[in-house]
A and B are shown apart, each in its own frame.
Chain A
Amino acid sequence: MIDQKALAYVNLYAVLGALENLCELVPEASAALTNKKPLSIGFEVKGGPSATITFANGKCRMEQGCSKCNVKLPFSSCEKFNGLIDGTVTPIPSKGFTHIGFLLKDFTKLTDLLNKYLRPSDEDLKDPDIFRINTEMTLNVIGVAIAQLGNQDEICKFSAAHIVDGSVMIAIKDGPAVEIIAKNHRLLCLKKRPEKYRCSMIFDSYQTANDLFGGKVNALACIGTGKVEMHGLMAMLDNVNRILDRVAIYLA
């Protein structure tokens, strides 16, 4: 049921892409990068995605492609890259051996923090800061994963084929939001609140969002109780939600 190529897109752009948010939200992550020379790591997956993550001034930014990077990590297949994410594959750089220290020390620290905040223990979630950061980061991961699966997964492409042009907002009330932009049935996620949108799904609180993301409550029952509100083009939202169902399978 899981396509390795689609999973590679999710792992690179949604999961590793969450490093951007980590550096914004977690001071410890930002501190790990301060007073360091700017550095970029390229991920090149044969038959799959490629992207460059640039670390500079305590921040991190992901861009597509890896023609300009200090360290390049090539992967011979999507399966190999997915192995990096689940910890079964150790990457070997093809470029940038002098920066191996950053890779082994600083980058590893960041990915450990990423894991801590994206997959916190129940005990960790009792910490209000971890709870808030986990909720916000997960919202972003889910948003990007929706876009990637809508473009890559065969079943999700069927859903995307029924999505009209325009923006979908997924948001936490009085909190963060993501924008899924559909154009010619291709999807793009921007990690921001859209100015204009054709439909929206709004969680009434961080608690509702976190419970839903963690699979602790039923989404349809939340719609029935009003904890999740939907507005606008329901057919558009319905198809986004069908992709969202499969995001849970990919991120499990």
Chain B
Amino acid sequence: MSDNFDPKVKKFTCYKTTKSDEWYARAAKVIPSGVYGHLGPAEGLFTPVNRWPRFSDKAQGSYFWDVDGNKYVDYMCAYGPNVLGYNDPDVDAAALAQAKLGNCTTSPNKIMVECAELLVDTVNCADWAFFAKNGNDATQGAILTARAHTHKKKLIFFNGFYHGVSPIVQKIDYPGVLPEDVANNIYVDWDDIATLRKIVAEDNDIAAVIAQPYDHGNFYDNKYPADGFWQDVRKLCTDNGIVLIVDDVRAGFRLDIAGSDHYFGFEADIICFCKALANGWNMSAFCGKEFLKGAASSLSYTGSYWMSAIPFAACIACINKMKKLDTPKLFRELGTQLTDGLKAAAANNGFNLVVSGAPALFYLRIANDDSLMLHQEWIAECVNRGVFLASHHNHFINASLTSDDIKRSIEICEEAFKVVKKNHPELG
């Protein structure tokens, strides 16, 4: 039986994270907030933090091991980059072969061209590809391209958005952000086409609308667009000379290999990718239509490692393998199998588990209270027994996940439901 299952009492043992705590104490002395950003404990996604590992030791396939030696089936997938499984042999072989030829060189390696050609052939709306490192580089590049093309300054965002960390895509109340940084930003509620139309009718200085393909924000149920929403937005942008940017950093290649705009039946002017591009090898890209190629060419926009060759080799291998496996279909099936099992386990124990978003990027919420505290308790019990989830973020399926992994995950999560139920007799 599995490593944290105790057959004598027929239950999963709880993990200790002593070494994680020690490493975190060391980290906090030399690294701001110990682990900053989305992988860290201060984002409100690990509640309470002492039930989560803070540092990993190794990873393989769908699993990682923390510094205490605890093994987790990982439904966060490094927050998305792990799309085929950690250490995928085909992707890593391509990357290591390229490493022997050269990586960060004075003239970019020709493999960059092959990578761009593959993206243009794969992504429905792409006539060209511009490479960078992180999702933020891609969204920032897309915005600069839109402004360079339109010579307009304003940007429309949908509330609940996350498009990276540049000051212009942060919010006025974030540390270090100036009111001037966000002065040209306009915010609209998701799916509110009427308000969007009104704003566009009254303002002729709008460079771009930027949006995720569906509302997969944190802390609330994820929402698909209403029927016809994207088609209406597309027409509005076309009619008014506004560049339509789809931020597919998170969902890209998980809904549709040709891009999430293709999945929802429209064409973006620019689409941004990162997480699933190269199975953890560091690169991002924004792809666009021919009419924006000149504007993208004009940008003063580059970086020391943006044309490194190893990630291009990994990207080519990753995209080809995703096509071969038909990962969107696989993720849909695996995600549905998992979330159906979780919903049933919840119902067996008197909990109403709401599942939202695409099965490939499922979002979970226990709806028995209005504070999410029961949900936080349940997630913590799951993590503490070896199923790595985040309290209030969409999760990710990867291609190495098996039905046995899912079955074991559901067993652990059901035990976690029983623990929460026992701790809350008031639930009846």
Contacts and interface: CB of A to CB of B under 8 A. Distances in A.
Given A225-B24, A234-B372, A234-B392, A155 B173 contact: yes
Contact of B28 (A155, A199, A224, A232): A224
B341 interface: no
B47 A224 contact: no
Contact of A235 (B25, B42, B219): B219
B173 A158 contact: yes
B253 to A, nearest CB: 28
B24 A224 contact: yes
B54 A224 contact: yes
B42 A229 contact: no
B65 interface: no
A34 B54 CA distance: 55
A3 B188 CA distance: 28
Given A158-B171, A221-B33, A229 B372 contact: no
Contacts of A239: 173
A172 interface: no
A226 interface: yes
A238 interface: yes
Nearest to B48: A229
B172 A158 contact: yes
Contacts of B35: 224
Interface string A216-237: 0010110111100111111101
Nearest to B28: A221
B82 interface: no
Contacts of A197: 371
A238 B44 contact: yes
Contact of A224 (B49, B179, B392): B49
B373 A155 contact: no
A231 B372 CA distance: 8
Contacts of A225: 21, 24-25, 28, 34, 49
Contacts of A233: 219, 371-372
A223 B25 contact: no
B252 interface: no
Given A231-B376, A234-B392, A238-B44, A224 B371 contact: no
A226 B50 contact: yes
A225 B23 CA distance: 11
Interface residues of A, number: 29
Nearest to A167: B371
A223 B35 CA distance: 11
Nearest to A237: B44
A220 B373 contact: no
A198 B179 CA distance: 30
A234 B43 CA distance: 9
Interface in A148-206: 155-156, 158-159, 166, 197-199
Interface string B162-175: 00000000011111
Interface size of B as a range? 35 or more
A220 B33 CA distance: 5
A1 to B, nearest CB: 9
Nearest to B49: A226
B357 interface: no
A1 B102 CA distance: 50
B220 interface: yes
Given A225-B24, A226-B48, A242 B173 contact: yes
Contacts of A235: 44, 218-220, 392
Interface string B298-315: 000000000000000000
B391 interface: yes
A129 interface: no
B157 to A, nearest CB: 14
Contacts of B24: 224-225
B373 A242 contact: no
Given A198-B371, A224-B54, A225-B28, A242 B48 contact: no
A106 interface: no
| Most B-side CB within 10 Å, residue of A156, A197, A238, A246 | A238
Contacts of A28: none
A112 interface: no
Contact of A234 (B48, B171, B173, B219): B219
B372 A223 contact: no
Given A232-B371, A232-B372, A223 B41 contact: yes
B173 A159 contact: yes
A232 B219 CA distance: 10
B40 interface: yes
Contacts of A237: 44
A245 interface: yes
Interface string B368-382: 001111001000000
A234 B44 contact: yes
A231 B41 contact: no
B423 to A, nearest CB: 14
B47 A234 contact: yes
Interface string A110-141: 00000000000000000000000000000000
Contacts of B179: 155
Interface string B47-60: 11110001000000
B373 A232 contact: yes
A162 to B, nearest CB: 9
Interface in B44-92: 44-45, 47-50, 54
Nearest to B375: A232
B219 A224 contact: no
B171 A224 contact: no
Contacts of B34: 220-221, 224-225
B399 to A, nearest CB: 30
A46 B49 CA distance: 47
The 4 closest A-B pairs by CB, nearest first: A234-B44, A220-B33, A235-B219, A220-B42
Given A158-B171, A232-B371, A233-B372, 15 more contacts: A198-B371, A220-B33, A221-B28, A221-B33, A221-B34, A223-B33, A224-B33, A224-B34, A225-B24, A225-B25, A232-B372, A233-B371, A234-B45, A235-B219, A235-B392
5 contacts: A218-B32, A224-B28, A225-B34, A225-B49, A242-B173
